[in-house]
């Protein structure tokens, strides 16, 4: 296949490029820094503008588009400027991409577009699968809704659209685990607020395999929760990571301190979704790393 990726130089994109290059697919990454793409993305070709694909004749030969671009949502408080950046990197980019696809005489058959389990908002203890309604919404869930609506505009163009509501990704390098490893290694890890909020998660290898599954399956369309079938609470996650690193985790960050420091963005840490990947399970997709304790041990061993 010839596949166009956005967000190809990110954590998930780099892992996908490694997998798909090994399968013999031809990969093109739309990037702000196309000159860095070959080194970061397993030899993929980088383009800085979509029009370059038209000039080279590659646009008419695309089989699929995988749209994963988006500035990190948890790196900075949600100021007005940061909200503008987050919308631009997700909603505006997806609009530009779908508008471009609409102008092509020959379109790819498939658009896989990123989203997040944060779409559901705060759902408390309620189990969440793909048909579930939203809970208490916040900026993050509203952003995911705008993002998905732009991607769904590809359906009237005759394209199969898959929306991936992805949980925080655990990987040996980068992502959430990279940020948590140092404080937990120093014995400074601890639960956040009550610790009862649910934390969906997914191992990077299971995520890339799931994306590859929906790429290869012509009957996959619509929303897929990309998360482990066994979500954990924040307290459970804290204990599991501390034990994996052989360190104590007795500290606690009170909710009021997180709200004061982070403002509305604190909802990412103090609320959650008890999400499960029901559509993937019903299709018979087999998760290789469904248990948090075992997933953490495998990922930390890969760092040694």
pLDDT in tens, 60-71: 889 999 999 999
Residue 137 · residue 147 · CB < 8 Å: no
Residue 51 · residue 4 · CB < 8 Å: no
| Per-domain residue ranges of the chain | 63-302
pLDDT attached to residue 57 = 74
pLDDT attached to residue 227 = 98
pLDDT attached to residue 304 = 63
pLDDT in tens, 60-116: 889 999 999 999 998 889 999 999 999 999 999 999 999 999 999 999 999 999 999
Give me the sign of the Cα torsion angle 213, 97, 88, 150. Answer: negative
Structural fold of domain 63-302: Rossmann fold (3.40.50)
**Which residue do the tokens 């070959």 mark?**
38
- DSSP letters spanning 211-275: HHHHHH-TT--EEEEES-SS-EEHHHHHHHHHHHTT----EEE-HHHHHHHHGGGGHHHH---EE
At residue 11, φ and ψ (nearest 5 deg) are -55, -50
Per-residue pLDDT of the chain (304 residues; tens, 9 = 90+): 999 999 999 999 999 999 999 999 999 999 999 999 999 999 999 999 999 998 777 778 899 999 999 999 988 899 999 999 999 999 999 999 999 999 999 999 999 999 999 999 999 999 999 999 998 899 999 999 999 999 999 999 999 999 999 999 999 999 999 999 999 999 989 999 999 999 999 999 999 999 999 999 999 999 999 999 999 999 999 999 999 999 998 888 989 888 988 888 999 999 999 999 999 999 999 999 999 999 999 999 987 6
- In angstroms, the CA 169 to CA 38 distance is 23
- In angstroms, the CA 71 to CA 274 distance is 24
């Amino acid at each position: 296949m010839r596949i166009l990726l956005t967000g190809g130089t990110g954590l998930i994109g780099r892992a996908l490029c490694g997998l798909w290059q090994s399968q013999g697919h031809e990969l093109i990454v739309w990037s702000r820094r196309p000159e860095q793409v070959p080194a970061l993305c397993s030899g993929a070709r980088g383009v800085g503008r979509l029009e370059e694909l038209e000039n080279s004749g590659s646009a008419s030969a695309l089989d699929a588009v995988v749209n994963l671009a988006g500035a990190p949502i948890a790196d900075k408080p949600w100021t007005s400027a940061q909200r503008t950046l987050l919308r631009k990197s997700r909603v505006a980019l997806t609009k530009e991409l779908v508008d471009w696809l609409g102008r092509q005489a020959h379109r790819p058959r498939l658009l896989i577009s990123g989203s997040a389990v944060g779409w559901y908002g705060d759902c408390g203890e309620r189990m969440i699968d793909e048909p579930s309604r939203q809970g208490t919404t916040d900026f993050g869930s509203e952003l995911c809704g705008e993002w998905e609506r732009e991607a769904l505009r590809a359906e009237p163009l005759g394209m199969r659209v898959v929306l991936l509501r992805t949980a925080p990704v655990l990987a040996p390098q980068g992502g959430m685990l990279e940020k948590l490893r140092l404080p937990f290694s120093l014995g400074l890890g601890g639960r956040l607020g009550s610790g009862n909020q649910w934390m969906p998660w997914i191992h990077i290898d299971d995520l890339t395999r799931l994306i590859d599954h929906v790429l290869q399956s012509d009957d996959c369309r619509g929303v897929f929760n990309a998360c482990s079938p066994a979500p954990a609470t924040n307290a459970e996650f804290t204990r599991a990571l501390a034990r994996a690193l052989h360190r104590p985790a007795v500290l606690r960050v009170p909710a009021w301190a997180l709200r004061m420091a982070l403002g509305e963005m604190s909802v990412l840490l103090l609320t959650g979704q008890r999400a499960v990947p029901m559509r993937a399970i019903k299709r018979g997709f087999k998760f290789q790393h469904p248990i948090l304790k075992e997933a953490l041990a495998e990922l930390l061993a890969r760092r040694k």
